[in-house]
Amino acid sequence: MTLTRRIPQPQLPLIERLAKRVRAARTAQGLPRRLLSERSGVSPRYLAQLEAGEGNISVVLLSRIAAALNLKIEDLLSETDPLGDDVARVAALYRAAPAPVQGRVRALLAPEHPMAQRAQRICLVGLRGAGKSTLGHAAAEKLKVPFVELNTEIERAVEMPLAEIMALYGQDGYRSLEAEAVERVIRTHDKLILAVAGGIVAAPSTYAKVLARFHTVWIRTSAAEHMARVRAQGDLRPMEGNPEAMDQLKHFLTARTPQYKQAQAEVNTASKPVQTSINDLLAVIAKHRFLDSIGRE
């Protein structure tokens, strides 16, 4: 490496640009010059001169510095500034991240419109007993689109009833199967109405995928109607041996409301005839143009 304090005038813009970018990238990553020296094999004195715009440096040594900063050499030399403090920091973090993390970052930054990612997929969320299955099936039949219950899809894939799945795999295993089922539905359907279990909001990554890849509607009702409808289906477990079940259900509903409110639309089925609620869901789908090829908020 050759360093000198007397730089020919034509080289000044390049040297100054290089000095600024090395200094900005190192500062953005919180790297002391000593640590950058250890990583790159370039002495602290040379690094100090380089950052001061007082030295020429060989391409080989510059490539070492770029690698130590998790940058490409062209990031330091380009006439346009691809870095800036924030961009340099993000670029460095991205290059140092594992491949799966890089993939998620690319997906988040993809220019595809959110409505295009959701296609014509509709997902009904909400606690058990709100009416997701009844409304979803009726609306799908009216609109001539497939209707899928996620738990049924899970049972079909594993070839056993949900109760056996829970007994064999436990809650964590069920959540994993639930996430796989959501991915499978996205791959195989561009147009459908999907009903998911109320507890899907307890799996943040899976619920985030649902919000991103489906037009979501929160089907809601009162705690009393939740309980009454579940019992009417022949399931007495919510009340059996548990006199405080109603208080627990109210607490449960309150705790999950912030997650359910992230849905794009709501249909309140409390104290309404079934057909009225079906019509309300159809009206929401039409208003938001969920089944248009692009749609809008």
The CATH number that applies at residue 125 is 3.40.50.300
Whether residues 25 and 126 share a domain: the answer is no
Whether residues 75 and 131 share a domain: the answer is no
Residue 241 is predicted with a pLDDT of 47
Number of independent structural domains in the chain:
2
Whether residues 105 and 121 share a domain: the answer is no
CATH of residue 20: 1.10.260.40
Whether residues 276 and 164 share a domain: the answer is yes
* Position 73 in a domain: yes
Whether residues 159 and 236 share a domain: the answer is yes
Domain end, chosen from 63, 79, 109, is at 109
Residue 32 is predicted with a pLDDT of 84
Whether residues 14 and 102 share a domain: the answer is yes
Residue 82 is predicted with a pLDDT of 53
Domain end, chosen from 55, 76, 109, is at 109
* Position 221 in a domain: yes
* Position 87 in a domain: yes
CA distance 159 to 211: 28
DSSP string, the chain: ----S---GGGHHHHHHHHHHHHHHHHHTT--HHHHHHHH---HHHHHHHHTT-----HHHHHHHHHHTT--HHHHH-SS-S-HHHHHHHHHHHHHS-HHHHHHHHHHH--S-HHHHHTEEEEEE--TTSSHHHHHHHHHHHHT--EEEHHHHHHHHHTS-HHHHHHHHHHHHHHHHHHHHHHHHHHH-SEEEEE--GGGGGSHHHHHHHHHHSEEEEEE--HHHHHHHHHHTT--TTTTT-TTHHHHHHHHHHHHHHHHTTSSEEEE-TT--HHHHHHHHHHHHHHHTTTSSS---
Whether residues 197 and 119 share a domain: the answer is yes
Q: Tens digit of pLDDT for each residue in 8-42?
A: 444 467 777 778 888 887 877 777 888 888 888 88
Residue 47 is predicted with a pLDDT of 83
Q: Tens digit of pLDDT for each residue in 37-80?
A: 888 888 888 888 888 877 667 777 777 887 877 777 777 776 66
Residue 17 is predicted with a pLDDT of 78
Range of the domain at 244: 114-288
* Position 293 in a domain: no
- pLDDT digits (tens), the chain, 297 positions: 444 444 444 446 777 777 888 888 787 777 788 888 888 888 888 888 888 877 667 777 777 887 877 777 777 776 665 555 556 567 667 777 777 677 667 666 665 666 678 999 999 999 888 899 999 999 999 999 999 999 999 999 999 999 999 999 899 999 999 999 999 999 999 999 999 999 999 999 999 999 999 999 999 988 778 677 767 665 545 444 455 667 777 777 888 899 999 999 999 999 899 999 999 999 999 999 999 865 444
